[in-house]
Structure 1
Amino acid sequence: MPAAPGTTTAIPKGTGRTLPRIASTLAVISLAALALTGCSVDTTSPSEARADAPKGAAAFTGGEGKPGSAGRNAGGTEVPVDCEKTKCIALTFDAGPGKDTPELLDILKKEKVHATFFLLGKDHVLKHPETVRRLAAEGHEVANHTWTHQRLDTLDKEAIHDELARTQDAIAEITGEKPTLMRPPQGRTDEDVTAVSKELGLSQVLWSTTAKDYATTDSALIEKRTLDQAGRDGIILLHDIYDGTVPAVPGIIAELKNRGYTFVTVPELLHPAKPVPGTVYRP
């Protein structure tokens, strides 16, 4: 399960090998406390990434040339979202796809919202190839969340590579493209994870908002937690595999639109910068 925001750290190798599988909020809290003993990992915010982008950078285009668009100008040309001027927020979903993901996609299509999906390989991508294909076809950003959701900071480089590369290959076989973004399970990363991510052309993406939807089926609570934490240039972390999450999404989208937010994918949030492999992005 993901740890709370602000606990992203490098933990000495082997620390997590003897820890049991996370199955409760208490376990998550314990791991968060353990994380504080590690060394911090440098992160880059979306605003910092945009500020460092080369002047006159080309307009963002997503996979297969799909534009990250805020609309069309008078000439009919797609206009990319400018999150320096626009109040942007990114909606992301981890650990799918699952049985409820098609319903979520219906909601996003109706609301004209594109999201970023960090997919698990073994028990999700392989079991739901049609959903993965639909994600890509409908303009969502398809990203990597490892093969089996092991904490990467507890593995050696070879195992880290295996966890990420197998999911890269599985997604590419379905969509024709390998992801450029990944999210480490629990947000746990270190120098080895960064090195392997860079080697595989993957940027690391963390978050600023979490509803801890893995610990509740209360959709109203998930909605409230998300809205309470939402902010400009934020990255919302939800999971499309838990029963309470998808029913909460329409209310989240409606209220954030009412507050003046524009929903973007993670690459759009960074535009005109391009995600740099190995870099850890966090609002």
Structure 2
Amino acid sequence: MRASRLVTLLLLLQNRGRMTARQLADELEVSVRTVYRDVDALGAAGIPLYGAAGHAGGYRLVDGYRTRLTGLTADEAQAAFLAALPGTAADLGLGEALAAAQLKLRAALPAELREHAGRIQERFLLDAPGWYGDADRTPHLAAVAAAVWTRRAVVLRYRRWRAPEEIERRVEPYGLVLKAGRWYLVAGGPSGTRTYRVDQILELHSLDENVVTPDGFDLSAHWNSYLADFRARLHTGEALVRLTPEGARRLGLTPAGDGWTETRVPIESIEHAHGEFLRLGTDVEVIAPAELRDRIAETVRTLATRYKG
């Protein structure tokens, strides 16, 4: 256990540069006293690291020192290759870099771990986009990724669903998110932090202006908050419906028995619910709201007339 922790400590310093004992302790989930002992052990083993006291102090490796990845376990090696997404890297203009990194990682692994890593690529494939529809065209993705990476402000010409449908806006890129095969840019702007679909960017011009990410900003935490807010706004109403056992199962509900089940289900809007309930055909009857029931009834009458004869 301690050997694994020492390797992790060494890799933290190698990848992040200077870190204080407290920062290392938090990352490793140990006490500061344990970090002191581990640092001493690394020094005794000949690892060239040094520490400095004071406000700007901390531990760091001697410039130029690199360690080989001999500390990887079989599970860690498998996870590293499973997490590498060739399609995603290619979209970002990093396909060749990913291939080169995988070659270097494979070369650094012992023979047994190379075999485990190879099995991962042979037996697992992640295809992120959904079944229906091709992946979104994102001609500006590489430029957006470059702006995120270099922390440069950009001017976007963007298409959105409400009027005015096309807007131009200066934004400060904070990060990119890939969700279900669709790319989103998280960026600061005149109205605070907003999320933009990359496939809806019509034009992009990079500016010679540096971006400073707000203190405490965490991309993962922001995205989770965004999703929670999106879901809260998504279902603002509800409908009272009767469902056959098949209809209940298709809505992800447990049927009450062999007969009809009456229940309330959340809906986004009358328009959206109209289309969704029509998909269920004769397995659903909408009781309320009256506007939704009337609209479905009118659609059914129109279809009956159209297909009559």
Q: Give the TM-score, by structure 1 length.
A: 0.22
- Tell me which protein shows more helix as a share of its residues: 2
- Tell me which protein shows more strand as a share of its residues: 2
> Larger RCO: Structure 1 or Structure 2 (Cα < 8 Å, ≥ 6 residues apart)?
1
Q: Give the TM-score, by structure 2 length.
A: 0.21
